[in-house]
Amino acid sequence: MVLHLLVILLSCQIQAVGAQMKLSPEKLTVLRGGEARFTCAPNTEWTVMVWLLNGKAVLTISKEHGVLRSINTTVTAENKKGDSWVFVLKSTERHNQGRVTCDLQNIDRKTATLLVQEKGSVTLFGDDRLAFKGHTVLFECQAAGWYPKPSLQWEVGDRKVSQGEYNISSEESGKSLFTVSSNLSVTATKSSHVCCLASVSALPTPLKSSVRLTVVSEVVQDCTVPLAVTASSLCSSAAHPALHLHCPLLPTKETSKIKPAGSHMDRPIGGWEKPGCWGDRGEGQPGILY
Ligand SMILES: *[C@@H]1O[C@H](CO)[C@@H](O)[C@H](O)[C@H]1NC(C)=O
Ligand SMILES: *[C@@H]1O[C@H](CO)[C@@H](O)[C@H](O)[C@H]1NC(C)=O
Ligand SMILES: *[C@@H]1O[C@H](CO)[C@@H](O)[C@H](O)[C@H]1NC(C)=O
């Protein structure tokens, strides 16, 4: 007990002696091209502050004269209240990843970590699909050109698909960029959007690619009984307005000949026959089905 107290007291004392400056944040993650800011707050008298990127001096600040020398226009500094200086790297590059050091000459230096991520693209391949209830539909998604390896997530309607339901494969391409691929098979139960989302931690919202899956319960030959087309259910992060169909869709003669070909069923052959009815999309053109 006494020993514990002694250790705590000692460590407090060590901290008090070492607390001559503070560099924050200790770790920062930004997207390439984004701005990185670090604040160095000296807690003692100083004359020269030097900022280093991966060991190379890029900015010098004099307490008396302010910023003295900056090697690039992308590197600047702003004076904050009191003695603090904010180091600003305006447009981060991948090679800036690493150590950011604030060096109070002849006093102390502190180092923080800068991580620079790359936003790639995400593509859910293929067109909107049409499938008969109970059949399996395969979706294929690729997230290309990311750093580090992006997390990939599927959503069907507003349901997040659990990771056990799909496989992911990834490969690293040149310039240490990652491409992640995933296939998802969905049993057609309800019309919905199928979304593939890719993200890295610095991205505020994931990138998304989606296609529409329309589920038909059965095909009726005489075209008088409406097909059961459920209202569209959008993925939770989708920005589209909800789509309401005002009246039932009737299959054309050709549509009714579609065979449930399993995984890849594209748009209905011959299209839809819609007597004066289309989705509730404002200026939306008649005949376009989402
Ligand atoms: C400064 O500019 C040089 C040449 O344009 C470049 O190679 C270097 O990476 C830049 N440094 C920083 C910190 O952006
Ligand atoms: C994932 O891959 C394993 C082995 O290749 C396979 O057995 C399994 O069915 C796959 N799962 C999915 C959801 O594709
Ligand atoms: C997805 O399916 C395609 C075509 O069937 C195949 O070439 C690819 O390897 C699959 N990818 C994964 C991650 O299972």
For residue 72, the CA-to-ligand 1 centroid distance in Å is 6
- Work out the pLDDT band at 220, boundaries 50, 70, 90: low
pLDDT in tens, 15-35: 445 567 899 999 999 999 999
Average pLDDT, whole number, for the chain?
A: 76
Q: 43 CB under 6 A from ligand 3?
A: no
Q: Measuring from atom 7 of ligand 2, which residue has the nearest CA?
A: 167
- Work out the pLDDT band at 73, boundaries 50, 70, 90: confident
- Measuring from each residue's beta carbon to the nearest atom of ligand 2, which residues come in under 6 Å? 165-167, 183
Greatest C-alpha distance within the chain: 91
Q: How far apart are CA 175 and CA 281, in angstroms?
A: 43
- Note the pLDDT of residue 72: 79
- Measuring from each residue's beta carbon to the nearest atom of ligand 1, which residues come in under 6 Å? 53, 58, 71-72, 74-75
- Note the pLDDT of residue 52: 96
pLDDT in tens, 234-253: 565 443 333 333 334 444 43
| Residue 10 scores a pLDDT above 50 | no
Q: Measured from the CA of 58, which atom of ligand 1 is nearest?
A: 13
Q: Measuring from atom 4 of ligand 1, which residue has the nearest CA?
A: 72
| Mean per-residue pLDDT, 277-286 | 28
- Other beta carbons within 10 angstroms of residue 154's beta carbon come to 23
| Residue 254 scores a pLDDT above 50 | no
Q: 161 or 254: which carries more pLDDT confidence?
A: 161
For residue 186, the CA-to-ligand 3 centroid distance in Å is 15
- Note the pLDDT of residue 235: 61
- Note the pLDDT of residue 83: 86
Residues 176, 181, 186: CA angle, nearest 5 degrees: 165
| Mean per-residue pLDDT, 271-286 | 29
| Residue 99 scores a pLDDT above 90 | yes
- Note the pLDDT of residue 18: 52
Q: 182 CB under 6 A from ligand 3?
A: yes
Dihedral sign for Cα atoms in the order 189, 272, 265, 207: negative
For residue 166, the CA-to-ligand 3 centroid distance in Å is 11
Report the b/e string of 169-204 with b at 16+ CB within 10 A. Answer: eeeeeeeebbbbbbebebebeebbbbbbbbbbebee
pLDDT cut 90: percent of the chain above it:
58
Dihedral sign for Cα atoms in the order 257, 260, 261, 265: positive
- Work out the pLDDT band at 162, boundaries 50, 70, 90: very high
**Domains defined for the chain, CATH in brackets:** 22-117 (2.60.40.10), 121-273 (2.60.40.10)
Q: How far apart are CA 190 and CA 209, in angstroms?
A: 19
pLDDT in tens, 79-95: 988 889 999 999 999 99
Lowest mean pLDDT among 6-10, 69-73, 120-124: 6-10
- Note the pLDDT of residue 175: 80
